[in-house]
Structure 1
Amino acid sequence: MTIGTWAGRTVLVTGALGFIGSHFVERLAAEGATVIGLHRTDRPLIRTELTALAGDRLRLVRVDLGDQHETRAAFRYLAPHIDAVFHCAALDGNAQYKREHSAEILDANVRTTAHLLNCAREFEVDDVLLLSSSEVYCVPGTSPASEDEDVRRSPQYTQNGYVLSKIFGEILADHHQRQFATRAFRIRPGNVYGPRDSAAGAHNRVIPSMVARAAAGEEIEIWGDGSQTRSFIHVADLVRCALQVVGTGKYEVVNVGSAEEVSILELARLVAEALGVPSRVRTDPDRPAGAAVRRLELARMREVIDFEPRSLRAGLEDTVRWYRRNERPQP
């Protein structure tokens, strides 16, 4: 399959009303695919937005992917044949949530991945893409983490159930590929941000949390001293990369991210600048800050894609526009 041939294909997307999954739905429908969007939790705002964008090319269905019978029924009855599966659904959260719900996250994410891979095998799905994470590189270093590092062979134990679930999901996909010849692609994105990422609850990521606080005139709280650096990838660019990874079929495992690296303190300043408000920051050295640096080797990504991911500044401006239209309380 080559790039741009999604038209006429039937694609199943899990987590279809979630932050990342909804962008897969939008892009696939725009390219002419018929999309079956599975979701567990209803998000009316995103449902309305996707329905307007995708029209009759989208069918949204509530399914509990933790139930193997419900999952199997979705594959059997929702379409005559499913050509590809994009697995974006996952139990996730901020650092505190992951620490307090590790067993729950590990169980849920491995269970749903197993059910989807089994269904893909049984119903002869052509391509499966698992949205993994750059966190599978358990020991971040100053050198960029390469896909050649076999994180499956000697996974380092961690109390982070989310990280373990991503490692075990990749191991399971690898075994399905070996035993059943499943075409399984694994995308390892860096820090993802963009429209539709909510700041509500314990599942919020750093950028929507910063946007919400700064927009409300509050101080931005930074865990640690803020010197830790990260790179960020806009969700729409992640989706374009992932579709081209599957489209070319050249690599099974690909890091997706940006070479643009920024400290968390600088990120807070950029968020405030995008909002047009003063930058007010409070650091909390007693809270877990994570790795001092996390870098990804992006040679494979650059080889596969035919576009340049947007800058962090441009991506933040796009994110802020969506936030102001949809989440910021109106006066």
Structure 2
Amino acid sequence: MMYKTNVMGTLNMLGLAKRVGARFLLTSTSEVYGDPLEHPQKESYWGHVNPIGVRSCYDEGKRTAETLTMDYHRGAGVEVRIARIFNTYGPHMCLDDGRVVSNFVAQALRKQPMTVYGDGKQTRSFQYVSDLVDGLVTLMESNHIGPFNLGNPGEFTMLELAQVVKETIDPGASVEFKPNTADDPHMRKPDISKAKSLLNWEPKISLKQGLPRMVSDFQKRIMEEK
């Protein structure tokens, strides 16, 4: 169903943008790069995706959404913008949305072990939500179509992320290892040269600066739970 949502939802919105003459923003994802053979990932990289894997509904759904967006731009003259968003975190996320930063923060605050899948050496890059918002607004106000990588090039293994969470919340927090999920990308880091050059955008908030802001929000909501 996720594939259908990505494809049909994008198709419907492109049709609406065409009818009313609106500028269309596609929030695509770093997942279009799959388990990348290029590191860091540039927008020119076509990706390495398993089309029948368990994650493919999201990866291929977003890749198809990008195709539709460019088809409507070239064929119907719709004004479009494409952003490829890398892992983003911040206050007001769902406590149990399954994303790694949310998981670690909620688990540490609830005095539960932080769940690490596989050996924890896979890497991700984490950007604070306000940096992403600035990037999206800048892209929409620019004359550039994209795609643009919007992410923070700071790269962390899952074990390093767990350590930052421990330092922020509870030095005594523990880690629990579980078998890895299928097709989990080994590396993820954006090359943001294009956004820096054409949009004059780059993230300002490091993980160690942004994480405490998220923790304060999560802490308040977890206390209300109790």
Structures share a fold, TM > 0.5?
Answer: yes
Matched positions, count:
223
The answer as to whether partners of 2:83 and 2:147 remain within 8 angstroms in 1 is yes
The answer as to 2:53 corresponding to 1:171 is no
Is 1:189 the counterpart of 2:85? The answer is: yes
Report whether the alignment pairs 1:267 with 2:161.
Answer: yes
Are residues 1:293 and 2:187 paired? Answer: yes
The answer to whether the 8 Å contact 1:245/1:305 transfers is no
Contact residue 195 and residue 201 of structure 2 kept, 8 A: no
Structure 2 distance, partners of 1:307, 1:147, is: 15
**Any residues of structure 2 matched to 1:16-165 within 5 Å, and which?**
104-125=1-22, 127-150=23-46, 157-159=51-53, 160-165=56-61
Counterpart of 1:208? 102
What stretches of structure 1 move > 6 A for 4+ residues in a row?
none
Structure 1 unaligned segments of length 5 or more: list them. 1-103
With 314-323 and 268-277 compared, the bigger mean Cα shift is at 268-277
Larger RCO (CA within 8 A; separation ≥ 6): 2
1-structure distance, mates of 2:155, 2:49: 26
Unaligned runs of 5+ in 2: none
TM-score by length of 1: 0.63
In 2, Cα distance between equivalents of 1:306 and 1:161: 30
Secondary structure, in 3 states, of the residue corresponding to 1:132? strand
Cα deviation digits, residues 265-296 of structure 1 (max 9, x gap):
11011112222452310112354471221222
Residue in structure 1 matched with residue 220 of structure 2 by the alignment? 325
TM-score, with structure 2 as normaliser: 0.90
Once the two structures are TM-superposed, the CA of residue 330 in structure 1 deviates from its matched residue by 5.7
Please state if 1:305 is matched with 2:210.
Answer: no
Q: Is the 8 A contact 1:197 1:204 kept in 2?
A: no
Say if 1:220 and 1:282, in contact at 8 Å, map to a contact too.
yes
Q: Deviations over 1:217-254 (max 9, x none)?
A: 11011110101111111111111111101212234210
Q: Is the 8 A contact 1:272 1:278 kept in 2?
A: yes
Which residue of structure 2 aligns with residue 86 of structure 1? none
Report which of the two structures shows the higher radius of gyration computed on alpha carbons: 1
Whether the 8 Å CA contact 1:158–1:164 is kept in 2: the answer is: no
Conservation of the 8 A alpha-carbon contact between 1:132 and 1:187 = yes
RMSD: 2.0
CA distance in 2, matches of 1:272, 1:329: 22
Q: Which amino acid aligns with 1:118?
A: G
| Offset, 1:300 | 1.3
Cα distance in 2 for partners of 1:185, 1:266 equals 34
